[in-house]
Structure 1
Amino acid sequence: MAVSFTAPAAADDFAALNEVVVADYLLPRYEALADAGSALDAALRQGCGAGTLGADASIAAYHEMADAWMAVQHLRLGPSELFLRADRIQFWPDKRGITGRHLSRLVTEADPAALEPQRFAQGSVAVQGLPALERLFFAPPEGADPAFACDVAVAIGANLKSIAGGMLDDWREGPTPYAAVIRSAAEGNAAYMDAKEASLQFAKALRAALVATTDLKLDRPLSTSAKAVKPRRAESWRSARSLRNIRINIESAEALYRDGGQAGFAALLRRQAGGEEVDKNIATAFAQARARLDALPDSLQAALDQPEGWQHLDDLRSHLRDLLALLSGPFSQTLDLPLGFNSFDGD
């Protein structure tokens, strides 16, 4: 049976894509992040109020906040880029050990004034977010006063709540909410010439999720052989969630690609000449990556400790590189969305 295709993707197609990404993908995820920030703040205040830094509720709230962040970590546009918000939520990779040094200094000096909200938010980004909180929970600095360490954790929780809430507000409220900026791109505005340029930002975010996963989260700890592994280069290794992070990254990337009904990336791709085959290959690559991840524990170190653990992780890396090649090549070319580079390239 003959297969018919529409004309190449037009302005209306990209405008529809932008609308569905904002309404059904971005806003729900930033709402979840803001909710997680509020829950973390409350849990830390309650736990430290009872004199317990690592209370079960606080640890669970940390993981929920980390989960919510992993779902938007790749979205380096608009409100995420303002006020160093992304770095303040997660200063990583930290190749020079800045978080450890700055956190040790903070808890050793034990100056309550350093935790005043405005001063804390304007201080070192390395101690403001999830990596510093992870250290306090799972590898506290030696000699730290437990009471002040709790105060630091509470300051981090309040800061994360403020940052997450600020990003959500900037997306949907105020005189120029960024959701409206995306939606008005079809008419042209200060940020985008047209709807296609805004769609390109989302395509770059899709690619960014794969670049960060392969280049930063797998290449750095896995190296080139099982004898050269450096598991402490993995993201969130102290809380044993390095592969949990990657799982959420891939799920979120796949949702950005596949969801959205007839307005989403996958459906738009299938309407282009040759796009059905490209979509089939992308779907297969996502499925292969998910299958590999489903067979692995949350911890990269635990995965490495399994028989043939390094090989399984290397296979995962290979599947993700295949997926990245599909996005950078056939996906980009078929939709005429030149992806170029982004903030994760070359880190």
Structure 2
Amino acid sequence: MRLPLASIPLILGLFFPAAPAAAQEGGTLSPRVVDEAAVPGVMAQAVDGFIIPGYRDLAEATNTLSEASTTLCTSPSEATLKAARSAFSDVVDKWSAIEIIRLGPALEQNRFERFLFYPDRKSTGLKQVQAILARKDESATKAENLKGKSVAVQGLGALEFVLYGTGAEALSGDDGGFRCRYGLAVSENLRSIAGEFLAQWEKPDGIQAAWKEPGPGNPLFRDNKEAATELLGVLVHGAEMIKDQRLRPFYAGMVDGKPDKGRPKLAIYWRSFNTMPAISANFSALQKLFNTAGMERLLPADSRSIAGSINFLFKALIAAADRLEGPVDAALADERQRARLDFIALNAADLLDRLNREFGGSIGLGAGFSFADGD
């Protein structure tokens, strides 16, 4: 029997109640504390199994993008433009699989914003990119010069407009010379930033050492609880980012009791049709980090079912996102697709709550703890 999509959120809640039901002998739950002995191993697995491999994948994808952009500029054609666009989408995918690590090297030298400037409120960044193209500012055709310009003109958003925005068809012929050179500079800039991410995390005595060895002399984590809090905070912030910065800008479900018509041009990567693939990759990244790090081991034995409910939600959200294909405006105009967006929005909020309140509470952070508020 096939169930209506709208009924699935209720079913998820029935299968996985909000509070851990298991109890030890005597009818009491075990103490709500993190398993500190497990923390160093979990942190090490997060670094070695998720973070560093993720940045390696990103570095490889940006190398391919730079090569494809070079080929496009030297041999413009429909085929080389298609290849460059494909390489761009692959970078979006690889970035979406690691952008949840918004700390350490990502916060230094504005690397995160230089790689992805979003949201672009009031289209300020778009106007700057359009101005470069209109003026044919040759200083923007060298990657080393882009570092000194606005973060909005040197990352994925700028390159998406170059490859897909108004006038992009010129890239397949001889009239797109300047546009292509600017796009190539952006590609090379992305490759440089991706290389910096990887180099910083690969340093044996750098941030990876701080993650793997919590303790009194550690500059980041004085004890295991601080380290576990940081790792869980990555998941909480990631879930919150998807809900509030990826979905809500273009679709809010109901507004003042009426269905939201949606704002497709506020969706991330709407020009390249990468909106939902990127969101799916975000959810997949959260699940991969959760499982690769072995975060279930941080839970008391009688609360391990929380990990199962979180994984079930991850699978449902990824499957729903994968079923949304094509342009955002078409999805918003289709009742079935909108139902899937409603499903994702509702269960993304549920995921956030389970990570924040249930998982966090079960490892000693206390119900109501908010990573977002920095409490």
Aligned residue for 1:140, secondary structure, equals: coil
Equivalent in the alignment of 1:231? 264
Equivalent in the alignment of 1:121? 147
Equivalent residue runs for 1:48-127 within 5 Å: 48-52=73-77, 55-127=81-153
Cα offset, 1:227, TM superposition: 4.3
| Kept in 1: contact 2:247–2:345 (CA 8 A) | yes
Equivalent in the alignment of 1:275? 303
Structure 2: 5+ residue stretches without partners: 1-21
Cα offset, 1:320, TM superposition: 1.2
Cα offset, 1:114, TM superposition: 3.5
Q: 2-side partners of 1:138 and 1:37: how far apart?
A: 18
Q: 1-side partners of 2:228 and 2:313: how far apart?
A: 22
TM-score (norm 2): 0.83
| Kept in 2: contact 1:77–1:201 (CA 8 A) | no
Equivalent residue runs for 1:23-34 within 5 Å: 23-34=48-59
Cα offset, 1:211, TM superposition: 0.7
Cα offset, 1:219, TM superposition: 1.5
Q: 1-side partners of 2:344 and 2:319: how far apart?
A: 9
Between 1:76-85 and 1:133-142, the stretch displaced more is: 133-142
Letter of the 1:191 partner, please give it.
L
Distance change >3 Å, CA 122–CA 52, structure 1 → 2? farther
CA RMSD across the alignment: 2.6
Cα offset, 1:180, TM superposition: 1.6
Q: 2-side partners of 1:16 and 1:245: how far apart?
A: 29
Q: 2-side partners of 1:71 and 1:119: how far apart?
A: 28
Distance change >3 Å, CA 140–CA 86, structure 1 → 2? same
Equivalent in the alignment of 2:335? 307
Equivalent in the alignment of 1:170? 200
Cα offset, 1:259, TM superposition: 2.4
Q: 2-side partners of 1:93 and 1:203: how far apart?
A: 24
Cα offset, 1:298, TM superposition: 5.0
Distance change >3 Å, CA 229–CA 190, structure 1 → 2? same
Distance change >3 Å, CA 2–CA 112, structure 1 → 2? closer
Equivalent in the alignment of 2:241? 212
Q: 1-side partners of 2:365 and 2:85: how far apart?
A: 41
Letter of the 1:166 partner, please give it.
E
| Kept in 2: contact 1:15–1:186 (CA 8 A) | no
Between 1:291-300 and 1:20-29, the stretch displaced more is: 291-300
Distance change >3 Å, CA 166–CA 324, structure 1 → 2? same
Aligned residue for 1:96, secondary structure, equals: helix
| Kept in 1: contact 2:97–2:285 (CA 8 A) | yes
| Residue 255 in structure 1 maps to residue 288 in structure 2 | yes
| Kept in 2: contact 1:91–1:125 (CA 8 A) | yes
Q: 2-side partners of 1:6 and 1:180: how far apart?
A: 32
| Residue 43 in structure 1 maps to residue 68 in structure 2 | yes
TM-score (norm 1): 0.89
* 2:317 aligned residue (289, 307, 317): 289
Q: 2-side partners of 1:68 and 1:14: how far apart?
A: 27
Aligned residue for 1:222, secondary structure, equals: coil
Deviations 1:174-217 (A, max 9, x none): 7x422122123235322221233223222111112211111121
| Residue 242 in structure 1 maps to residue 267 in structure 2 | no
* 1:155 aligned residue (182, 185, 189): 185
* 2:43 aligned residue (18, 21, 32): 18
Distance change >3 Å, CA 105–CA 141, structure 1 → 2? farther
| Kept in 2: contact 1:30–1:72 (CA 8 A) | yes
Q: Rg: which structure is higher?
A: 2
Deviations 1:4-54 (A, max 9, x none): 998743432111111111111111001101111111111101111113596
| Kept in 2: contact 1:108–1:143 (CA 8 A) | no
| Kept in 2: contact 1:14–1:195 (CA 8 A) | yes
Letter of the 1:201 partner, please give it.
E
Cα offset, 1:74, TM superposition: 1.3
